[in-house]
Structure 1
Amino acid sequence: MTAIEIFGRLSVPRATGILNWLYENDREAYRSCAGMLATRRKLRPVFVERKPRDERNLWIREALTKSSNADLALEILQIWVLGKNERLVCDFLDALEIKHDGKGLIDELPAEPDAKMVSAAVEAILAKYSPEDVWIYLHLFAGMDTPWPHLKGLLITHPAFAPESLAA
């Protein structure tokens, strides 16, 4: 699932929560994103900046579901995952025994580990973190260049990632 598809599936409150986190923790990235989205729609950035934040966030969320904004959608989700959910990322990588810099960044993604190890790592982070946060992170992770077929299968079949479970 791509970043634009993730934004398309997120509830409005959830997407707004991500954008509010970005506004509060990386205002420059938030403003840059809003400005770039406005420019791509042939609007002046000030048009978007002057909207009340709730209205602006709805506008940004809608724009981030468009294929022309896939790069921005991915960047926003990556900033949010590595900023707000750094421990989730590190716990997942640690459970898989993948070396990282302590902040969740890795130099090179290895081939997929044993299926049991991947399943155990997913269960470990689901036990500690919000299923929706895990779902977002794992979709971003699975979208990287190295194929991890078992992980992709879990994202489709695991009950915690069923649409009705995530909507709860």
Structure 2
Amino acid sequence: MRPNQLLQAIGVELRMQIMTYLQTDQRAAYKAVIESLAPAKRLRPAFILEKPRAKQAEWLLEQLNTKSNEEVTAQIFQIWLLKGQAQMLITFLDAAEIAHDGKGEVTELPEVIADDKAEAAVAALLAAYPAKQAALYLYMFQQQRPGGWDSITKAIEARPELKLEA
């Protein structure tokens, strides 16, 4: 599933949670995204940034839904996951027994993740986080390697609550 499809599939509540996080906790990244997208619509970034936050988020989400902005959408997901949801990453990596720096950063991803470890990691995520958040993380994690990991795909497919529809 492509990033702009994921954005649609995660639902309004999680989309707004991500936008609010960017607007409040990652102001520099948020402003940089607006500055990169506004010129494509022949707008000055200041024009967007002067609007109320809700209108800014609405405009930004509209831009992120387009196929041409997939890379920006993926970057926003990565910022939110890596900086705002580090504990989610740690939960998954610990349960999957993937070595990391204690903050969720992995230097080398494994070639294979055993079925039982993938199942345990997915179960740990679902026990601690809402299904859509867990699903977004898993879909993004799968994109870290061409084709993802078969064991994680099986674990996702075994749980209807993790199915995201674009």
Relative to the length of structure 2, the TM-score reads 0.91
Please state whether the residue corresponding to 2:72 is helix, strand or coil: helix
What CA distance in whole angstroms lies between the structure 2 residues aligned with 1:30 and 1:37? 11
Instruction: Give percent identity, aligned residues only.
Output: 32
- Counterparts of 1:26 and 1:73, CA distance in 2: 15
Structure 2 Cα separation of the partners of residues 116 and 85 of structure 1? 24
Q: Paired residue for 2:162? A: 161
1:135 counterpart = 2:124: no
* Two-structure CA RMSD over aligned residues (Å): 1.7
How do 1:49-88 residues align onto structure 2 when only pairs under 5 Å count? 49-88=49-88
Shift of 1:153: 3.3
Q: Does 1:14 align with 2:14?
A: yes
User: Contact between 1:2 and 1:140, CA under 8 Å: does it hold in 2?
Assistant: no
Q: Which amino acid aligns with 1:47?
A: F
- Post-superposition Cα deviations, 1:133-166, rounded to whole Å, max 9, x if no partner, equal 11111110001125302212333441221459xx
Q: Distance in 2 between matches of 1:163 and 1:107?
A: 28
Contact 1:16 / 1:61 at 8 angstroms: preserved in 2?
Answer: no
- For 1:154, the aligned partner's letter is A
- Asked whether the equivalents of residues 2 and 139 of structure 1 are also in contact (C-alpha less than 8 Å), the reply is no
1:4-153 alignment runs, 5 A limit: 4-146=4-146, 147-153=148-154
Alpha-carbon offset, residue 110 of structure 1:
0.8
Give the residue type in structure 2 aligned to 1:56. Q
Query: How has the CA–CA distance of structure 1 residues 72 and 54 changed in structure 2, closer, same or farther, with 3 Å as cutoff?
Result: same
Number of aligned pairs?
164
* 1:42 Cα offset (Å): 2.4
Question: Given that residues 132 and 162 in structure 2 are in contact (C-alpha distance below 8 angstroms), is that contact kept between their aligned partners in structure 1?
Answer: yes
Letter in 1 for 2:152: L
| Distance verdict in 2 for CA 1:163–1:113, change over 3 Å | closer
Q: Which amino acid aligns with 2:139?
A: H
Q: Secondary structure at the match of 1:100?
A: coil
TM-score by length of 1: 0.90
Structure 1: 5+ residue stretches without partners = none
Instruction: Give the partner amino acid of 2:134.
Output: V
Contact 1:4 1:73 in 2 (8 A): yes
